[in-house]
A and B are shown apart, each in its own frame.
Chain A
Amino acid sequence: MTTTVVPFGPQHPILAEPIQLELTLEDEVVVGVVPGLGYVHRGIEAAAERRTYAQDLPLLERICGICSVAHAVAYAQAFEALAEVEIPRRARLLRTFWFELTRLHSHLLWLGLACDAIGLEAQFQSCWRVRELVLDVFAATAGNRVILGVTALGGVRSDVPERLLPIVRQQLDAIERGLADLAPLIVDNEAVLRRIAGVGRLSTADVVELGLVGPTARGSGVGLDVRASAYAAYDELPVEPIVEAGGDTVARALVRWREIAESLRLCREALARSDGLGGPLRVRVPTRPRGEATSRVEAPRGELFYYLLAEGEPHPTRCRVRTPTFANLPAVLRMLPGTEMANVPVALLSIDPCLSCTER
């Protein structure tokens, strides 16, 4: 049988950002794949090594517009470990509030894109209409819709003012009602589930062997969730990893769907516990720390890892960022061989690839 090599991307209707998969096909079936990166590499790690620690925070926050809070918190945690400071409880709760809102809007964004990829434009718009409510909460509480700028080294930069609390709670209720309207259109819709069932299958062994993270891992029965390590306020707001055993696109979609509800619960609880809690929002931090530190957070797409090396200069000697998509990209080596070419877009989307993060 003749084989054909087809470049999938870097420009493709389902891809919001450029990546190339070099697909080797036998007829319509994929038999080999090599992922190609680097179309929009920005050199942010190197740039961070030329700026002060405080200047790095807004820089690293801009690695990704979707999970900007995750990058800010991961970097701040690594810095705080270097500086050996403990941040106030109020700051930990507020970080958790904005972090879970980030997960909420990221999962809704993905759900909309997944619907669009299989031709369901009405569902796509419905998902994004609910997501818009989350962005409204961002705008009300942080002043920004995308890059929030609420994290500070040593705590948080701003509070959720008391006068806003009823509005935020109403908005969270509206999101919940929006989700209830979405369910019969997507996750309870037999036609949608049948279209994505069996696509992009990954076994538990694949996940373990490739070191996959986030909903991609949890959709294959691996309960890996960094929130279990109790960073931010997850020590007082414990999270049970949401796991599905199917290992296909349906399982990954259901993991994200169930996590949306869990994030809503965590947002409400974090807000309730921070309400009326006095005390400072941040603590003072040194400007020239020394040592090495790592930090991990559960970003919407999975584990986000930071490594900082500080040698007493006003800037880090090394700032290493390993994003969830960088860890999940090797999944294509296992889930695409044997897949029909027509299903490649859905399979790739099922790991929720973020090239902004990957091309940091």
Chain B
Amino acid sequence: MRHLPASRTIAAGALVAEAIALRDDGWRFVTASCVPRPDGRRTVLYHFERGGELRHLRVEAPPGTSVPSIGPAFAAAFLVENEMRDLQGLAVAGLAIDYGGRLFRDLLEPAPRKTEP
């Protein structure tokens, strides 16, 4: 399959260091996109922009694993990280503001964690 140009796959453990390096290099965090796969994996793309150019970091999260929050690099990432957890069932460790599954307030109880396919 044709991937996004300028996308690079990295290990979840390297995510925060890579994000900090991008921030220090003047890149802006645009957002993250989480793709739940039929086998229970989740592919997470982190999108960055600098001077009109886009760059993407790809992280594969096998079932039952989590990805670290990039909050230490980009303070505003907490919203999309909470959303990915609530809507795509992605486990995110170390959230700066943790809504506990209640980012979406009209839910009567925390969003179910879709950790299995």
Contact = CB atoms under 8 A, between A and B. Distances in A.
Interface of A: 10, 20, 34-41, 45-46, 208-211, 224, 226, 228-229, 290-294, 296, 303, 305, 307, 309, 311, 317-318, 320, 322, 326-327, 329-330, 333
A294 B4 contact: yes
A75 to B, nearest CB: 14
Contact of B74 (A211, A294, A307): A211
A307 B47 CA distance: 10
B3 A292 contact: yes
Contact of A327 (B76, B97, B103): B76
Given A10-B105, A38-B105, A209-B75, A322 B97 contact: no
Contacts of B17: none
Interface string B2-34: 111001000000000000000000001111010
Contacts of A20: 105
Contact of B45 (A35, A36, A307): A307
Given A209-B75, A226-B52, A330-B75, 10 more contacts: A10-B105, A37-B104, A37-B105, A38-B105, A211-B30, A229-B52, A292-B1, A292-B4, A307-B33, A327-B30
Given A20-B105, A41-B104, A211 B29 contact: yes
Nearest to A225: B52
A57 to B, nearest CB: 20
A208 B75 CA distance: 11
A44 to B, nearest CB: 12
B54 interface: yes
Interface in B54-112: 54, 56, 74-76, 78-80, 87, 97, 102-107
Contact of A309 (B28, B35, B52, B97): B35
Contacts of A326: 31, 79-80
A34 B31 contact: no
A352 B49 CA distance: 23
Given A37-B103, A307-B33, A210 B80 contact: no
A38 B28 contact: no
A305 B31 contact: yes
A50 to B, nearest CB: 14
B104 A318 contact: no
A226 B105 CA distance: 32
Contacts of A224: 28
B30 A305 contact: yes
Contacts of B103: 36-38
A320 to B, nearest CB: 4
B34 to A, nearest CB: 8
Contact of A39 (B33, B97, B106): B106
B42 to A, nearest CB: 11
